[in-house]
Structure 1
Amino acid sequence: MISKRIRSFADMDVVASHSRHILTLFSGGLDSSYALKELARRNCKVTAMAVDVGDGVDQSDLKSIADHFGADLEVVDAREEFVNVGVIPAIRAQAKYLGIYPISSSLTRPLIAASAVRTAKRLGCDAVIHTANQSQNSLRRLNGAISQLGFGGWYGTPYEFSALSREEKIAGLAAAGLTRFQARGISGDANLWVREYESGSLDNPEAFWVPDSLYQWTAATQSKFGASVQIRFEGGRPVAVNGKRMPTMELVEQLNYHVGSFGIGRYSGLEHLDQGEKVLEVREAPAATILMDAYRHLETACLEYEVLREKASQEQLWVREAIEGRWYGKLRESAEQFIDCTAQQVSGTVGFQLRGGAADVCSIVADVPLYLTDRDAWEKSVAKIRGSNSLQIPEAMEVAA
């Protein structure tokens, strides 16, 4: 029986000789471009698929590379889907890796895998190739999602067992007439929710540096924006900023630049690989930072303590299953159902005052609050009600006395 997993370029040889039509995930970066070169050399029918999850896709650039290697190009606009199945659940689940930084590729990879499986079925592709490597958690997240979605063809990445340096890939592409790629540097993965960076000057956690030019949302341009932000939620979904209602995608985009302009939302942290090794990642996520913070404050105003305490454990379960590549499993689905149930009660507005590097909460206004607004009045009312049930001397004891 032939294995359905693609783990090397030798495996790609087998697939190319048996496959009718190969779908390869394509970002236009070095790894996916080199994979296209290798597929072109094997003379098989190839469609390169790019998925737009919110940080822009240069279709002309992608098409020029695909055309260079004789591949068809498919571009899938998954921005709205990403908002609904990734961003909103992440806000509700307080989706941070060990509570340190907002997760990112854990949210997009299952969506990209689902787009790949749908596109492969529509085009009649019997193989799906991606280009994650051993030091990227996308490897297990894409493989896990494709497997859980029940794809029956070959799938995987040739870079799992065929390790090539960046310089080797650049030289190979240059020899094939594509000279646009540069020597080793920082690589990135961006979407509507998070901009994430790794490699290059970020390789060594013991001594790394981040060029200021890397950051886009968190550039210091406070003068363009006001220092206050009010975010309204309805049924656990953000619906307005400073009183202006807007679609969630537009709301997140606006907050990235507004909140980010105060230098809010920069993170550095380690993440574990499949076998336990750790790699450093740097990211910026201003909208994610303030939206999750606002949601946490608002749900504490709306939900009972025991519900909140149980929700905290479900959040960690949700995040664990997402980062381990088990997005389409029953554990994450069940945790999300619990979290979504609690979200129906979370409506109201949270206000922040922004300053350099920080967002200070200045108001929490829940539609149906559990908090007190006048402690003295509450104390008197409660004392009167509860005092009427205080200890009374039984009538028989009074007579005896």
Structure 2
Amino acid sequence: MSQQRVVLAHAGDAATLCAIPWLSRQAEVVTVTVDVGQGESLLAVRERALEAGAVRAHVLDARETFAQDVVLPALRAGAIGFDGDPHAAILALPCVASQIATVAAMEQADALAHGGRGQAAARMTRLLEAVSSIPVRPSVEVEMPAEAHAAAMAALQLDGEASAGVRATLWGRSLSVGRALDGPLDEARFTQTRAVTRGPDTPATLDLGFVGGTPLRVNGVAMPLVELLSSLDTIAAAHGVGRIDVLVPEGAGVRREVAEAPAATVLQIAMRELEALQLPWSLRTLRRRLAESYVDLLRTGDWHGLTRRSIDALADRALADATATIRLRLFKGGVSVVGRTAS
């Protein structure tokens, strides 16, 4: 009988890296690492996975797919920023799950595996089950015995400060803050945005052009979505825009989420202004209610279902004629609308 094959979602974190030698005792392990704009080379992640015992280690560039298939629909649905949260840490997961399912089918895998605990593990399991008929194993962080984890950490020469997983995407960078619900973060942890005290003393004016509810131009220059996000990140981050500190639901309580998301911050403000300019109040009110449902689908992992597709369809109809240029002022961490021109 041929050996079983497991496809493991591997973000480069210690938990899933440690799982490779443990899973290898039971099956061939094939890892999949998905590039959703982490901003770093993932070749080292691939090499580390092979050294840990993976028979193959795939690295997939899914930045364009992530931007077009997940970021843009969520933005058009009004699900970005309505609650103050850019959802930088979870927005990429539907795309990641789809990419893993594609590789698993190609590899003729017998099972899928992933990391995470609690709500995060349940979310990823639902996302994988929605796009693949291959059985999903329990989270390796839960399934793996503590002694096996400790042995793998020692063998792979990892310490407790190893990466906690992919928390950066082209949409934003999420910072782990532990259990603290208040208090400032060390300035050194912010690598994408400039502190407002170090920002320019002269404000910047930014023209953001939308066609049919989709952002297409920055200061009159048309560009693909991935490039547009990068451009907005660069411009806004220089003015201290995009640092976000919110409380988000977790189980019966809340946890603190700190993110750097300059492009997301600018876009959600411009999108809100576009709605005010183009849509009737009753439709805007309905979209706000549906935005809450959209975010719930992201948090629970039910994003691939009919509910999300229906909300997207409404957004497509509502924004079909939403074409305008929104002028924004960026200064010392703030973003304000200073003009709008309907087309």
TM-score (norm 1): 0.78
Q: Is the 8 A contact 2:80 2:268 kept in 1?
A: no
Matched, 1:155 2:137: yes
Deviation at 1:75, TM superposition (A): 0.9
Q: Is the 8 A contact 1:106 1:141 kept in 2?
A: no
State which of 260, 285, 292 in structure 1 corresponds to 2:237.
260
Matched, 1:81 2:31: no
State which of 319, 339, 342 in structure 1 corresponds to 2:315.
339
Q: Is the 8 A contact 2:174 2:257 kept in 1?
A: yes
CA distance in 2, matches of 1:24, 1:351: 45
Q: Is the 8 A contact 2:88 2:261 kept in 1?
A: no
In our comparison, the structure showing a higher alpha carbon Rg is 1
Helix, strand or coil at the partner of 2:141: coil
Instruction: Give the AA of the match of 2:140.
Output: P
Helix, strand or coil at the partner of 2:302: coil
CA shift in 2, pair 1:284/1:38, >3 Å = same
Give the structure 2 partner of residue 60 of structure 1. Answer: 43
Helix, strand or coil at the partner of 1:218: coil
CA distance in 2, matches of 1:266, 1:328: 29
Deviation at 1:70, TM superposition (A): 2.5
Task: List alignment gaps of at least 5 residues for structure 1.
Answer: 1-16, 368-401
Give the structure 2 partner of residue 353 of structure 1. Answer: 329
Give the structure 2 partner of residue 172 of structure 1. Answer: 151
Counterparts of 1:40-189 in structure 2, within 5 Å, are: 40=24, 42=25, 44-71=27-54, 72-96=56-80, 99-134=83-118, 137-160=119-142, 169=149, 171-176=150-155, 178-183=156-161, 189=167
CA shift in 2, pair 1:303/1:266, >3 Å = same
Identity %: 26
Deviation at 1:206, TM superposition (A): 4.0
Matched, 1:270 2:252: no
CA shift in 2, pair 1:299/1:127, >3 Å = same
Matched, 1:193 2:171: yes
Q: Is the 8 A contact 2:14 2:162 kept in 1?
A: no
Task: List alignment gaps of at least 5 residues for structure 2.
Answer: none
TM-score (norm 2): 0.90
Deviation at 1:21, TM superposition (A): 1.0
State the superposition RMSD in angstroms: 2.6
CA distance in 1, matches of 2:201, 2:22: 47
Q: Is the 8 A contact 1:128 1:156 kept in 2?
A: no
Question: How many residue pairs are counted as aligned between the two chains?
Answer: 340
Q: Which moved more, 1:314-323 or 1:25-34?
A: 314-323
Deviation at 1:237, TM superposition (A): 0.9
Whose relative contact order is higher, 1 or 2, with alpha carbons under 8 Å and at least 6 apart? 2
Give the structure 2 partner of residue 293 of structure 1. Answer: 269
Deviations 1:309-355 (A, max 9, x none): 22222222222222221101211211121112112121111111111
Give the structure 1 partner of residue 292 of structure 2. Answer: 316
Helix, strand or coil at the partner of 1:115: helix
CA shift in 2, pair 1:185/1:322, >3 Å = closer
CA distance in 1, matches of 2:162, 2:95: 29
Counterparts of 1:211-226 in structure 2, within 5 Å, are: 211-220=186-195, 222-223=199-200
Instruction: Give the AA of the match of 1:147.
Output: E
Q: Is the 8 A contact 2:202 2:331 kept in 1?
A: no
Deviation at 1:100, TM superposition (A): 2.0
Q: Is the 8 A contact 2:11 2:166 kept in 1?
A: no
Deviation at 1:45, TM superposition (A): 1.1
